[in-house]
Amino acid sequence: MTNVTSRVLIYSHDSFGLGHLRRCRALAGALTRAHPHLSVLILSGSPIIGSFSFPPRVDFVRVPGVIKLQDGAYVPLSLEMGIEETIRLRARLIEEAALAFHPDIVIVDKEPLGLRGELAHALPRLKERGAHLVLGLRDVLDDIEALDAEWRRKRVGPALENLYDDIWIYGARGVFDPLDGLGLSQSVLSKVRFTGYLRREVPAHDLLPRAVPLPDQPYLLITTGGGGDGDGLIDWVLSAYEQHGHDLMHGVVVLGPFMEAARQAQFLARAQAHAKLTALVFDAEMERLISRAAGVVAMGGYNTFCEILSFDRKAVIVPRERPRREQWLRASRAQELKLVRMLEDPAERGGARHPDAMAAALIALPQQDAPSRHLDPALMGGLDYVADAAGALIAARAERRRAG
C-alpha cells in the first residue's frame, strides 16, 4: 500500500442499540491495523460512542441521536425538535463532515440512503469527488417480502444501480443470502461480494475499568446487546435462576445501556439477591466476557453471533421477531447448521414464559456441541476481506493518480 495517507469514512445510522456501532468499530480497527497510513472517521448518532475505546487513527463524529420505537418509527433522542427537523440537521452535519474529510472510500452500514434518506444529497457529491462507495450489509436483513417492500418504499433502487460501486455482505452465501428473491438487476448483483463473518478478538489488555468483577468460577453469559428490547429475556432467565438456581451454573447478566432505567434497577436488585448471579448494565469489552464464558444466552443480533462463532462458545439464542424477523431467521438457520440452539420465545406469539423451559435450556447448554464442530473456519474471514479490498481500491486509486 502507498505511503500517502488514505481515508475511509464509515456511516452508521442507528442511535439506539449497539449493533451497527460495534460492527463499524470492528471494521475501522481491521482497516487501520492492516494499513498503517490509513485513517478512519465514523459518523454515528450513538449516545454512548464515547464509552468505547478506539485504536489509533480512528475517530468519530456524533450527530444528534434518534430513538427507534417498537413500531419501527424514529423520534429525536434528546433535542426538542421534530423528527423531520432533526433529520435535516443530521443530513447537513453528515454532509459537511464527509466532504471536509474527503474520503477515498465510503462504507455505508445497512441503510443505502441513510436514516430517512439523510445521505441522499451527500452520496452523489462524494461520488463526484471520486470516493468509492460501498454498501455494507449484515448476513440477514429481514423476511424478503418485508425487505422488498421497505426498499421500494425508500426508493433505494437507483442508489444501488447508480451510486454504489460495491455491496459487501458480512456473511456467507452458504449460510444465508439476504438479497435472494429481491429480483435485483444483474448490474446490482454483479456488485455483491460475500466477505465472510467479521471475526472478533479479545483486546490485548483490559483497556477500560470494570465496575463489577467477573466470577472466578465458570459462568454463563446472558446478554441482550443494547438492551432496549431485552426485558423479556432477562426476566425469563432471572425467573429460571430464582426457581432452579441450585441446578444452574453461575450467571453473568449484562442488561444493556438502552434498557429503561426502572427495569435496570429491578433486574439488578433481583440478581443481587441471588448468590449465583452477577449483573451489570454495560461493558464496552464484551469480547472479553464472551471469551471467558462457558456458554452464552443471547437474543441473536449480528455482533453477538459473530462473537459466539469467533470464540467458539456454546450458545442458546432466544430471538425476537419484531419489528424485524432478522434474529429469528439467523437463529433458525444457525440451528439448522448445528452452530447454536434456538429457544423460541412463547411471548412473541402471546404465550407465557415458563421458568422450567429456560432452566432446562441453561442446564443443557454446557453439553451442546461447540460451533467449531460444524463451522468452516474460512467463513470467518470478513475483516481480512474488507482490509484487503480496501487496500486494493486505494492502491488502484493511487495508480490512477500517477498515470493521470
Amino acid at 346: P
Q: Decide if 335 contacts 299 (C-beta within 8 A).
A: no
Alpha-carbon distances of 45 from 62, 93, 111, 281, rounded to whole Å: 5, 11, 14, 20
Whole-number pLDDT of residue 399: 84
How confident is residue 30, by pLDDT bands cut at 50, 70 and 90?
Answer: very high
Q: What is the DSSP string of 152-184?
A: HHHT-HHIIIII-SEEEEES-TTT--TTTTS--
Q: Decide if 327 contacts 319 (C-beta within 8 A).
A: yes
Buried b (16+ CB within 10 A) or exposed e, 323-335: ebbbbbbbbbbbe
Q: Three-state SS for 276?
A: coil
Cell of 52: 468505547
Q: Which helix (H) or strand (E) holds 99?
A: helix 83-101
Buried b (16+ CB within 10 A) or exposed e, 70-79: eeeebebeee
On the question of pLDDT at 404 being above 80, the answer is no
The structure's pTM equals: 0.94
Q: Decide if 178 contacts 140 (C-beta within 8 A).
A: yes
61 - beta bridge partners?
43
Task: Over range 282-308, report the average pLDDT.
Answer: 94
Q: What are the chain's domains?
A: 6-198+381-403 (3.40.50.2000), 219-377 (3.40.50.2000)
Q: Decide if 28 contacts 42 (C-beta within 8 A).
A: yes
How many Cα atoms occupy the beta-carbon half-sphere of 384 within 13 Å? Answer: 8
How confident is residue 205, by pLDDT bands cut at 50, 70 and 90?
Answer: low
Per-chain mean pLDDT for the chain: 93
Whole-number pLDDT of residue 1: 43
* pLDDT, tens only, 167-178: 999 999 999 999
Q: Which of 35-49, 95-109, 190-204 has the highest mean pLDDT?
A: 95-109
Cell of 355: 421458568
Whole-number pLDDT of residue 3: 52
Q: Three-state SS for 271?
A: helix
How many Cα atoms occupy the beta-carbon half-sphere of 322 within 13 Å? Answer: 11
Alpha-carbon distances of 375 from 117, 141, 197, 369, 372, rounded to whole Å: 38, 22, 12, 11, 5
- Indicate if the alpha-carbon torsion angle 118, 119, 120, 125 is positive or negative: positive
Q: Is 204 exposed, middle or buried (0-12, 13-18, 19+ CB in 10 A)?
A: exposed
Whole-number pLDDT of residue 50: 85
Q: Decide if 299 contacts 230 (C-beta within 8 A).
A: yes
Whole-number pLDDT of residue 2: 44
* pLDDT, tens only, 385-396: 999 999 999 999
